[in-house]
Amino acid sequence: MSHHIYPLSHYLLLLLPLFFIIVLSAEINNSTCPSYTCGNVTIRYPFWKMDTESPTQFCGYEGFEIKCSDNGEQHNISEITLGGDNYYVQCINYDDKSMLVADYDVSSAVPGPKICPRVNHNISLGTLPLNLSTYSVNLSFHFNCSGCPSFATEIPCLDNNGRKSCLGTSTEETEEWDGYSCYEEVVTAVIDEHKKKSSNFQVDFGSVLEKGFGLQWGRTDECEKCEESDGRCGNHSTTGHICFCSDGTISKNECGGTFIITTLKFQFYPCLSILV
Ligand SMILES: *[C@@H]1O[C@H](CO)[C@@H](O)[C@H](O)[C@H]1NC(C)=O
Ligand SMILES: *[C@@H]1O[C@H](CO)[C@@H](O)[C@H](O)[C@H]1NC(C)=O
Ligand SMILES: *[C@@H]1O[C@H](CO)[C@@H](O)[C@H](O)[C@H]1NC(C)=O
Ligand SMILES: *[C@@H]1O[C@H](CO)[C@@H](O)[C@H](O)[C@H]1NC(C)=O
Ligand SMILES: *[C@@H]1O[C@H](CO)[C@@H](O)[C@H](O)[C@H]1NC(C)=O
Ligand SMILES: *[C@@H]1O[C@H](CO)[C@@H](O)[C@H](O)[C@H]1NC(C)=O
Ligand SMILES: *[C@@H]1O[C@H](CO)[C@@H](O)[C@H](O)[C@H]1NC(C)=O
Ligand SMILES: *[C@@H]1O[C@H](CO)[C@@H](O)[C@H](O)[C@H]1NC(C)=O
Ligand SMILES: *[C@@H]1O[C@H](CO)[C@@H](O)[C@H](O)[C@H]1NC(C)=O
């Protein structure tokens, strides 16, 4: 008899209430993985706000903690520490998993003159699940050189007692700098578009630097199972990696039941508006 055979759409209709139940339960208890607003930045999973999580556990990725501080002006500012260095977080885009950050030493959010900023450290992402975003490019500053190679740009305001400061692209081979006896090399990044738009990079590199660069995040292997079971990763000081499940429970690696649907409403301040 064929009356038992329904078109596929009938089955989907039957599944509809189930769909909603799953979607609702997928909203992880916000008291476990809360979100905050800090100035222009929404801090939510996988980021977490320092000082608000309990001292023994947090919900978010290790190394993704954001410090919210008052810069004495209208807005609170967000800071992240990468490889021991502070960066000002300008915006986080949870849709494409990217953020715009600027080195504290050159950031306009931090008081002090930025006319001829000196970058003091490399960008160190270490083992964090972070990559430079596609719209960013690396730059390499070479300080205290005997001269600048022809492929590099001299930065006169950073010259020091007759020793030159040169700007390369960081794609050159190390040997290409041999013979210029530079004292130090520092690799940083800027947004490609801003660099291209600059009419005199030699002079206004500071304003390009202060606009920051983009980072994209992925997830760590140990977090994969947890997130795929609709949980959120965290860490506990004694047990280490933990998984916050949508039913409010906390498990070690993954949550019971595998939900493939995750609908989370993101409130975000578009990073792209800063890019144009
Ligand atoms: C949890 O979320 C609900 C609605 O999304 C909101 O009304 C409530 O204030 C939130 N609670 C906390 C503790 O953030
Ligand atoms: C927040 O955004 C506004 C408008 O885009 C901007 O003027 C302001 O400088 C931003 N504040 C911070 C702390 O980034
Ligand atoms: C800055 O953050 C503090 C809490 O950290 C909050 O009390 C204050 O209202 C915030 N200020 C602004 C301007 O958002
Ligand atoms: C740019 O610098 C970052 C951070 O140091 C590094 O991870 C990346 O591999 C570099 N990219 C290129 C193309 O050199
Ligand atoms: C240049 O080198 C001298 C020592 O040769 C050092 O004291 C100084 O800090 C260096 N300057 C820069 C900008 O690296
Ligand atoms: C930055 O990285 C380059 C290699 O990419 C290295 O040669 C240089 O010493 C590093 N600079 C600092 C200040 O660590
Ligand atoms: C970073 O880029 C490398 C190589 O392109 C890729 O294998 C890795 O998965 C990326 N990591 C993240 C966190 O996106
Ligand atoms: C994560 O948990 C481990 C314990 O396994 C602990 O040693 C570590 O300090 C925790 N990390 C953070 C950032 O609290
Ligand atoms: C969220 O957590 C609070 C306290 O931790 C609890 O009372 C509440 O039932 C939880 N809500 C859900 C939907 O799990």
- Alpha-carbon distance of 136 to 104, in angstroms, equals 17
Half-sphere exposure (Cβ direction) of 132: Cα atoms closer than 13 Å: 18
Residue 176 alpha carbon to ligand 3 centre in Å: 50
- Split at pLDDT 50, 70, 90, the class of 269 is very low
Tell which one of 40, 68, 69, 99 to mutate to probe ligand 2, the residue whose CB is within 8 A of the most ligand atoms. 40
**What is the pLDDT, as a whole number, of residue 129?**
95
pLDDT tens profile 203-255 = 889 989 999 999 999 988 889 999 998 889 998 888 888 898 887 788 888 88
State both tokens at 82.
């990468």
Q: How far is CA 196 from CA 59, 135, 152, 173, in A?
A: 39, 12, 16, 23
Of 76-85, 138-147, 216-225, 267-276, give the lowest mean pLDDT range: 267-276
**What is the pLDDT, as a whole number, of residue 4?**
61
pLDDT tens profile 159-209 = 888 899 999 988 888 888 888 999 999 999 999 999 999 888 888 899 899
36 touches 43 (CB < 8 A): yes
pLDDT at 264 over 60: no
Q: 235: buried, middle or exposed (CB in 10 Å: 19+, 13-18, 0-12)?
A: middle
* Mean pLDDT of the chain, nearest integer: 81
Percent of the chain with pLDDT over 70: 78
Answer yes or no: is the C-beta of 31 below 6 A from any ligand 1 atom.
yes
Is 97 in a helix, a strand, or coil?
coil
Non-local CB neighbours of 161 within 8 Å, separated by 6+ positions: none
Nearest residue by C-alpha to atom 5 in ligand 7: 131
